[in-house]
Structure 1
Amino acid sequence: MTKNHGNSIKDDEQYEALRDEGMSKEKAARIANTDRSKAGRRGGKSERYEDWSKESLYDKAREVGIEGRSTMNKGELIRALRR
């Protein structure tokens, strides 16, 4: 039987399942409280990495702290940024 977590959790069943998988209370609550009509939508309207210049990819890699970026080609930068 699913425990009632009060008004702070919208989907108690999903919350319990996520906690059983080992998620933190905060993350499980965030997911369980997500509006289902908006779930799965991607944010931002940035171009795909394939459309970026190598210089822009390099700058982004530097911003996020990817090591070895100076020797990477465009494809390698894209893979590293997606990890």
Structure 2
Amino acid sequence: MPNPSIQNEEQYEALREQGYSKEKSARIANTPDAGKNGGKASPYEEWTKEKLYDQAKDVGIEGRSKMDKEELIEALRNN
């Protein structure tokens, strides 16, 4: 059933399938022109663990020092 508060339902569903949280998917799907100029960053799987750690630090993910690469990716996607 479509959610009237989501402006781009197709994009929202695609983001959810990629593992994004409901909140983050909604924020992106409700941003005007989201994705039109983006898409230049490589997927997290191609990032080094150090780069993932630095990104996790920048966004304030707690417990990052004990996370492996896969856990950092999951934490970043669900932040």
Q: Scaled by the length of structure 2, what TM-score is found?
A: 0.54
Matched, 1:72 2:67: yes
Deviation, structure 1 residue 73: 0.1
Partner of 1:82: 77
- For 2:55, give the aligned amino acid: K
- SS of equivalent to 1:59: helix
- SS of equivalent to 1:45: coil
CA distance in 2, matches of 1:65, 1:78: 14
Instruction: List runs of 5+ in structure 2 lacking aligned partners.
Output: 6-29
Partner of 1:55: 50
Deviation, structure 1 residue 41: 4.8
Instruction: Report the CA distance shift for 1:39/1:52 in structure 2 as closer, same or farther (over 3 A).
Output: closer
Q: CA RMSD in A?
A: 2.5
Deviation, structure 1 residue 43: 2.0
